[in-house]
Amino acid sequence: MPERPPPMDNALKKVFIKTYGCQMNVYDSERMRDVLGPLGYADTATPEGADLIILNTCHIREKAAEKVYSELGKIRRMKRARAELGAEMLIAVAGCVAQAEGEEIVRRAPAVDLVFGPQTYHRLPQLLARRSASGRAVVETEFPAADKFGELDSKAQPRKGVTAFLTVQEGCDKFCSFCVVPYTRGSEFSRPVAQVVEEARRMAGQGVKEFTLLGQNVNAYHGMDDRGRSLGLAGLVAELSRIEGIERLRYTTSHPRDMTDELIAAHAENPKLMPYLHLPVQSGSDTILKSMNRGHTAEFYLRLIEKFRAARPDLAVSGDFIVGFPGETDNDFESTLSLIREVGYASAFSFKYSPRPGTPAAESAKQIPEAEKSVRLQELQALVHAQQTAFNGAMVGRTLSVLLEKPGRDAGQLVGRSPYLQSVHIQAEPGLIGMIVDTHISGVGSNSLSGHYAGAV
Ligand code: SAH
Ligand code: SF4
Ligand code: F3S
- Single-letter amino acid code for the residue at 100: A
Q: Contact at 8 Å (CB) between 238 and 270?
A: yes
Alpha helices in 141-232 (DSSP H): 148-153, 181-184, 193-205
- Single-letter amino acid code for the residue at 222: H
Nearest Cα neighbor of 24 from 140, 170, 135 is: 170
pLDDT at 241: 97
Residues in the chain: 457
The protein residue with its alpha carbon nearest to ligand 1, atom 7, reads: 255
For residue 165, report the phi and psi dihedrals to the nearest 5 degrees. -90, 150
Ligand 1 in reach of 361 Cβ (< 6 A): no
Q: Which of 17, 22, 172, 356 to mutate to test the pocket of ligand 3 (most atoms within 8 A of CB)?
A: 22
Nearest Cα neighbor of 199 from 45, 383, 34, 436 is: 34
What is this structure's pTM? 0.94
Ligand 3 in reach of 24 Cβ (< 6 A): yes
pLDDT at 456: 60
d(CA 51, CA 94): 16
The protein residue with its alpha carbon nearest to ligand 3, atom 3, reads: 22
Distance (Å) from CA 432 to ligand 2 centroid: 39
pLDDT at 435: 95
Q: Which of 216, 221, 259, 296 to mutate to test the pocket of ligand 2 (most atoms within 8 A of CB)?
A: 216
pLDDT at 7: 45
Q: Contact at 8 Å (CB) between 370 and 329?
A: no
Q: Which of 179, 217, 218, 322 to mutate to test the pocket of ligand 2 (most atoms within 8 A of CB)?
A: 179
Residues 6+ away with beta carbon under 8 Å from 105: 93, 97, 98, 112, 115, 139
- The widest CA-to-CA distance across the chain, in whole angstroms, is 80
Q: Contact at 8 Å (CB) between 447 and 456?
A: no
C-alpha dist (Å) from residue 232 to 119, 210, 221, 262 = 23, 20, 5, 9
Residues 6+ away with beta carbon under 8 Å from 376: 323, 324, 328, 333
Provide the sign of the torsion angle of the four alpha carbons 224, 228, 234, 237, taken in this order: negative
pLDDT at 144: 76
Q: Where are the beta strands (DSSP E) in 324-368?
A: 347-352
Q: Is 295 left (phi over 0), alpha (psi -120 to 50) or beta?
A: left
Distance (Å) from CA 222 to ligand 3 centroid: 21
Grouping H, G, I as helix, E, B as strand and the rest as coil, residue 25 is: helix
pLDDT at 152: 82
C-alpha dist (Å) from residue 53 to 33, 44, 74 = 12, 10, 12
pLDDT at 145: 67
Ligand 2 in reach of 359 Cβ (< 6 A): no
pLDDT at 258: 97
pLDDT at 54: 98
Ligand 3 in reach of 185 Cβ (< 6 A): yes
CB 424: neighbour CB atoms within 10 A?
26
Q: Contact at 8 Å (CB) between 296 and 289?
A: yes
Ligand 2 in reach of 279 Cβ (< 6 A): no
pLDDT at 77: 93
Q: Which helix (H) or strand (E) holds 394?
A: none
- Single-letter amino acid code for the residue at 129: A
- Among the bound ligands, the one closest to the CA of 25: 3
Which long-range contacts link 231-235 to residues 24+ away (Cβ below 8 Å)? 231/193, 232/260, 232/262, 232/263, 233/168, 233/260, 233/263, 234/260, 234/262, 234/263, 234/265, 234/266, 235/193, 235/262
The protein residue with its alpha carbon nearest to ligand 2, atom 4, reads: 216
5 secondary structure, DSSP code: P
d(CA 354, CA 352): 6
Q: Contact at 8 Å (CB) between 422 and 398?
A: no
Give average pLDDT by consecutive 10-residue segment, the chain, 457 residues.
45 92 96 93 92 97 92 94 92 97 95 96 94 94 80 80 95 97 94 95 96 97 93 97 97 97 98 98 98 98 98 98 98 98 98 97 98 98 97 97 93 95 93 95 91 77
pLDDT at 457: 59
CB 87: neighbour CB atoms within 10 A?
11
